[in-house]
Amino acid sequence: MVAVTGGFYFYLPPMITFVVLLTEIVREKEKKLRLGLSLMGMSNTAFWLSWSATALLFSFIVSNLLILSGFICSFDVFTSCPYEILVILFTTYSFAMAVLAFLISTIISSSKSAYTTSYVFLLTGMVL
């Protein structure tokens, strides 16, 4: 069963992190909320650390939900591999996608472009 649906099953949850973070960061930039925060004294380091903490938490939650659903469906990968390794693997991949979203968000300036770009990444990865 994992051989047939594994590619989508392992790829889509981390991509949810990518899509959500990219669109939210760009929306915040588009509405100039970051400028308001910097005017109130928030440094760039604190801004990106807060987004990194959010991304790490979101990645951890998405990874645990993926592992839980894999256990419920009794996929061999999830039943034969230790939980700690699965958490590290999926959280690291999901956080790497979040960091890619941070990188792309510096280039994109509108929410529509962010949606389009994130879905291009999503669909391209699904095809590959």
Q: What tokens does 96 get? A: 């790497």
Q: 3-state secondary structure string, 35-74?
A: HHHHHCCCCHHHHHHHHHHHHHHHHHHHHHHHHHHHHHCC
pTM: 0.87
Backbone angles phi, psi at 117, to 5 degrees: -65, -45
Average pLDDT over residues 23-42: 90
Residue-wise pLDDT tens digits, 51-104: 999 999 999 999 999 999 888 988 888 889 999 999 999 999 999 999 999 999
Q: State the CB neighbour count (10 A cutoff) for residue 16.
A: 18
Average pLDDT over residues 28-50: 90
